[in-house]
Structure 1
């Protein structure tokens, strides 16, 4: 099904979005394009976060391509064609797994390698051009449900109301407790600290092996014992991004540290003397590290508050593993589904149904991706033992084609996830359920929720079989 690109709601609402990250700006753009008045409150003073590189999988790149066009999107991007596997401690190149073009064609998008700040600026500019009001330096101190309009209080004392408040303010969200309750368990450290960094192409070119890597259209994964480096070129091969996953106890991580990409530390914070000489040379080209701690937080059971006027999205609803490959793509998918649903709005009575539909459509999807991310993290940071030996054997067999073992399973699982289309997910809900609910405020019954869930599973299975075929 092809969703209507220019659908505009016949009733315009006021949306207040707390959080101006990739997800927040994307939601602002979608809602504004759908005919609504949108204001974003962002506590940072300007656009852009120091988070190094970003993997843009096909399910995300096809959305960005739809928004700005393929030519504009690829100006600062690198198309990922393969994943070489290296050993962190010996420097050995085990093998390389291609991102097969026939599989990518099935997904409808390209696998791109970009700088996080470049994607952030793209969606920021889209929001501005769509007429969104963006307030930087706006620290939210309180979120209150309203009847019927919720309100947000800022540090300067200003109180702002809206028809709907969207919490897009990340895993340490101030909106989330209003939705899920204050009794939620405290987050637990995963045991991994993640460092972001970039290396200039000029430095990479001083070493033959590093020079080859900066020129490759590839996403190298450098695997070690309980640690790994996710590396790839960005900005049209002008820089090399590093996402370094390191055990907390060896990373100099403060006991009270939590998620934050604004903690800048010197490169010497890490002891990388056990790394292969080539990786030690690469690290010497790093000017500083941006540190964050990976915390284990549950996905919120409910994304909509009791007043049915406050909703969570992105990592406020479903926190991702620090440095993962799908956090941004899940936030942008959330934005598309939320914005697309509200482009069909014609009555205030539909607001609760649309918010609950958004929750229903997205929850199983992000659960599936979260499971995949956890599997990937364990796969690249195995401790020594038979499983690591078996994995490395599979790596060595990856010389141009997927083998029949664990590596093939990993990549085929990712390919299934890439086929998801957020526009279609929202449009299908509207065709199957939304348009038949009229303009009453009656919630859908349990049978309707059940049928929608079954339809979602069937859709995923159809995509899976099409991709494998």
Structure 2
């Protein structure tokens, strides 16, 4: 325990993707940041992550794009299929026309590879402080304009600006917003297996496969230069209860998948059954800032994953935050610029991610109507994706959101 607070310029609570990207962005502009991570070591939980052009643009500006792309996979298309019938619903072509339109490709990467690239960049900068085993429990604005940060072990820090990149269960959000997690009643099971186990019929042409079924979906794509295959199964539990944890079990998973086609049922054997991931998000809020404390990433706008933009939006936050802090001497001015640039857009993605989830999981006649409505979709028509995928530096100030 430190007797006197440790004085730092910018303190970042959380050493995940958002936190490290922000610290690295500041370091690229010559400003020091100090990152506190509650885990005993820096690392990333999970397997695959989809990175749209806006995410790659952010990584490019941070100087780590080549590191991330080294082991990434460049899928040729994103395919939506009916999980029951096995028939194709619609396709997004991710080839040359896509890259020409956005200036960057669409890739899938291992989350650990993305995280390690950002961490390596921070270490190479020489001006990013990195501490593990420091769980931030509170941040309090002081009369002199600084922020007093306290960790679980009693250590204290005084910072000119504090950035809460501490995830969906953010203690700093609790102090600013004071809201609760929103349970979705859905759980996820994940599994990565050597590609040869899956077979060439599904991996010969690299694609992101999105199998959509009643109250469930399955996402599949190759990782690490095609050496492993990622599988993520998500389903709604009929036994959800806030009072006990006996819901979303492997038995429920098998029962939900029993109505699906053979390809989807076969994926069940690739999933790890010992860890289930309950899914939560947060209600959108415009209150991301309190004095010289600001939220980014999941702490600001935790979202369900149906638009595959959670990580990308965290990276966009980091670029906007670093830019604002590099351009303003006062944290309050920087945070005002940051929220002006990010709140409306990220909140809209939060809301539309929920709508996408309803579309993914629709039952009965609604499923047939959904499939029919996409039957004539042009695989190279990206107009409905521009508002989300366009790199931050190319996106208009006022975006055109889907109706």
The TM tier, using the shorter chain, reads 0.7 to 0.9
Shift of residue 29 of structure 1? 0.5
In structure 2, distance between residues paired with 1:154 and 1:47:
17
Which residue matches 2:107?
112
Classify 1:266/1:51 alpha carbon distance in 2 versus 1 (closer, same or farther; 3 Å): farther
Give the conservation status (yes or no) of the 8 Å contact 1:42–1:137: yes
Give the conservation status (yes or no) of the 8 Å contact 1:193–1:253: no
Which residue matches 2:338?
358
Shift of residue 255 of structure 1? 4.2
Classify 1:49/1:218 alpha carbon distance in 2 versus 1 (closer, same or farther; 3 Å): same
Which residue matches 1:276?
261
Which residue matches 1:160?
157
User: 1:442-467 CA distances to partner (integer Å, 9 max, x unpaired)?
Assistant: xxxxxxxxxxxxx821xx35xx9xxx
Give the conservation status (yes or no) of the 8 Å contact 1:314–1:334: yes
- TM-score by length of structure 2 reads 0.87
Which residue matches 1:48?
43
In structure 1, distance between residues paired with 2:132 and 2:238:
36
**Does structure 1 residue 329 correspond to structure 2 residue 329?**
no
In structure 2, distance between residues paired with 1:47 and 1:324:
27
Which residue matches 2:363?
383
Structure 2 residues not aligned, in runs of 5+: 1-6
Classify 1:355/1:66 alpha carbon distance in 2 versus 1 (closer, same or farther; 3 Å): closer
Which residue matches 2:294?
311
Q: Which of 444, 452, 456 is equivalent to 2:397?
A: 456
Shift of residue 23 of structure 1? 0.3
Shift of residue 267 of structure 1? 5.8
Give the conservation status (yes or no) of the 8 Å contact 1:215–1:233: no
Shift of residue 83 of structure 1? 1.9
In structure 2, distance between residues paired with 1:344 and 1:22:
22
In structure 2, distance between residues paired with 1:174 and 1:354:
22
**Does structure 1 residue 125 correspond to structure 2 residue 120?**
yes
- After superposition, the CA RMSD in angstroms is 2.7
- TM-score by length of structure 1 reads 0.76
Greater Rg by CA: 1
In structure 2, distance between residues paired with 1:376 and 1:323:
6
Q: Which of 196, 206, 211 is equivalent to 1:202?
A: 196
More strand by percentage: 2
Secondary structure at the counterpart of residue 278 of structure 2: strand
Shift of residue 122 of structure 1? 1.2
Secondary structure at the counterpart of residue 192 of structure 1: strand
Classify 1:216/1:44 alpha carbon distance in 2 versus 1 (closer, same or farther; 3 Å): farther
Shift of residue 217 of structure 1? 2.2
Secondary structure at the counterpart of residue 40 of structure 2: coil
In structure 2, distance between residues paired with 1:315 and 1:192:
18
Shift of residue 95 of structure 1? 5.3
Secondary structure at the counterpart of residue 372 of structure 2: helix
Shift of residue 344 of structure 1? 2.2
Structure 1 residues not aligned, in runs of 5+: 1-11, 206-210, 258-264, 426-454, 465-469
In structure 2, distance between residues paired with 1:48 and 1:76:
17
Higher mean alpha-carbon deviation, 334-343 vs 30-39, is at: 30-39
In structure 2, distance between residues paired with 1:384 and 1:170:
36
In structure 2, distance between residues paired with 1:153 and 1:70:
34
In structure 2, distance between residues paired with 1:253 and 1:240:
33
**Does structure 1 residue 418 correspond to structure 2 residue 389?**
yes
**Does structure 1 residue 73 correspond to structure 2 residue 68?**
yes
Classify 1:34/1:126 alpha carbon distance in 2 versus 1 (closer, same or farther; 3 Å): same
Shift of residue 373 of structure 1? 2.0
**Does structure 1 residue 32 correspond to structure 2 residue 15?**
no
Secondary structure at the counterpart of residue 274 of structure 1: coil
How many residue pairs align between the two structures?
Answer: 389
